[in-house]
Structure 1
Amino acid sequence: MATRIVIFEDNDRVRNSLVTLLGNNKENTVCGSYPDVMNVSQVIRDEKPQVVILDIDMPQKDGISVIPVIKEIDPEISIVMYTQFEDDEKLFKSLCAGADGYVLKKTTPVKLQDAIEEVRKGGAPLSPAVARKVLFSFRDQSTAARDKYDLTEREIEVLELLTKGYSVKLIASELNIAYDTCRSHLRNIYRKLHVNCGKEAIAKVLAEKIVF
């Protein structure tokens, strides 16, 4: 069954090009294209799209502001931001609001079709430049968290495997260290993170992005 797509883009030329590009693919059905998001709730309810292509800079109301509106109507709708903006603020506001992908207009149009296919499979497509920004941001947060708790490189390695579900025995085997040495690392980790067990450690690691 073809993927139902709705497009919100204020530039007539770009919007019409997207309708043609995406509509020519038998895997898609473009069920609506609009120059603004003023009637987004009604459009989503009427058209019942599976994917929404959403520009950010539009008249009267920007695209980011309606992401929660769309998700509230149907959380299963995949939202792909299609924009010229690659600054950190708009990128992270979009992702935090619930966008499933972020594709820059300067990339080839084929990338947008690839992004649609990826979100339909549960992925989170990002243009290469955007992906680098996200990665660097996580690295910065991770580095700050590691410094905060004074974790050693070996302790980070142990934590990474712990969050993947490895047992103490498997962690020791993977890192080629003695079982008792691994237990000692874990005790130090729990002390530094101020937790009492592995589950609490994993929860804190994920919440504070200590590893990524």
Structure 2
Amino acid sequence: MYQISIVIIVTMNIRIAIVEDETDTREMLVNLINGYEGYSCVSAYKNAEEALNNILLLEVDVVLVDIHLPGKSGISLIEQLKSLVPKTQFMVCSSLEDSNHIFSALKAGATGYISKTTSSEKIIQAISELHLGGSPMSSQIARKVVASFQEHKVIKNDSCKDLTNREFEILEFLSRGYRYKEIGDKLFISVETVRKHINNVYKKLQVNSAIEAINLMKR
């Protein structure tokens, strides 16, 4: 009597959307993705507004997002879409590699961050890794994340223990001489939101000025 074995081969079919304002880069990514079996680019947009209006209507697994877009930024787009399509994974593909943009993107809901200089093969690998539950990052991005954690100063002052991470972040910018608008631009929030956070800091620390708050933080 012969025993018959049945082997089931599971093929990935990852549906991907792209948000990139540079035409050449956008077309390159579309052709790259569609050139690999198991990967399909279902839509591509030149700005965040187009993406916001259309991605909700599609079943997308992964969205590749540039940060510097005309109008709404890629980070703002991720923050809005993540709450609406929580199962969709977002990966930044950008030439902006400074720590502020990296952490703002991750806080907004991105689970991957690669450089535009990443090779074609590694872009596909990153998409696959992201889809399977990983958090791919270009090596230079990962190094900056590690360095940022190593440089982070732990504040031990008991009076500061009730501050949120965002409040600490804004207070740190104030200590470095940034103005409200500059802080808002760095964190992709409005000046009014910055002002509200700072008022909350004053209340929690029981101080009346930024100088008092900064001095208390550094004790």
Q: Shorter-normalised TM-score: what interval?
A: 0.5 to 0.7
Q: Tell me the distance in 1 between the aligned counterparts of 2:19 and 2:37.
A: 21
Q: Secondary structure at the match of 2:102?
A: helix
Q: Tell me the distance in 1 between the aligned counterparts of 2:120 and 2:96.
A: 16
Q: Secondary structure at the match of 2:48?
A: coil
Q: Secondary structure at the match of 1:85?
A: coil
Q: Which residue of 2 aligns with 1:6?
A: 17
| 8 Å contact from structure 1 (residues 67, 97) kept in 2 | yes
For 1:86-142, what per-residue CA distance to the aligned partner results, in whole angstroms no more than 9, with x for missing partners? 11111111011110100001121222111101111111111101101111122233x
| 8 Å contact from structure 1 (residues 40, 70) kept in 2 | no
Q: Does 1:48 align with 2:76?
A: no
RMSD of aligned alpha carbons? 1.6
| 8 Å contact from structure 2 (residues 78, 109) kept in 1 | yes
| 8 Å contact from structure 2 (residues 97, 115) kept in 1 | yes
Q: Does 1:115 align with 2:126?
A: yes
Q: Does 1:26 align with 2:37?
A: yes
Q: Tell me the distance in 2 between the aligned counterparts of 1:134 and 1:108.
A: 21
Q: Tell me the distance in 2 between the aligned counterparts of 1:74 and 1:38.
A: 16
For 1:39-79, what per-residue CA distance to the aligned partner results, in whole angstroms no more than 9, with x for missing partners? 33331122221100000111111101111211111111110
Aligned letter for 2:13? A
Match of 1:102 among 105, 113, 119: 113
Match of 1:130 among 141, 145, 148: 141
Q: Which residue of 2 aligns with 1:17?
A: 28
Higher helix share: 1
Aligned letter for 2:27? N
The structure 1 segments of at least 4 consecutive aligned residues displaced by more than 2 Å after TM superposition are: 39-42
Q: Tell me the distance in 1 between the aligned counterparts of 2:100 and 2:135.
A: 18
Structure 1 segments unaligned to the other structure (5+ residues): 150-212
Q: Tell me the distance in 2 between the aligned counterparts of 1:45 and 1:58.
A: 19
Q: Does 1:69 align with 2:80?
A: yes
Shift of 1:148: 4.3
Q: Tell me the distance in 1 between the aligned counterparts of 2:149 and 2:95.
A: 23
Q: Which residue of 2 aligns with 1:92?
A: 103
**Equivalent residue pairs, number:** 146
Q: Tell me the distance in 1 between the aligned counterparts of 2:72 and 2:52.
A: 13
Q: Secondary structure at the match of 1:133?
A: helix
Aligned letter for 1:28? Y
Q: Does 1:81 align with 2:92?
A: yes
| 8 Å contact from structure 2 (residues 20, 66) kept in 1 | yes
Question: Quick one: percent identity of the two aligned structures?
Answer: 34
Q: Secondary structure at the match of 1:39?
A: helix
Q: Tell me the distance in 1 between the aligned counterparts of 2:77 and 2:121.
A: 25
Q: TM-score, normalised by structure 1?
A: 0.65
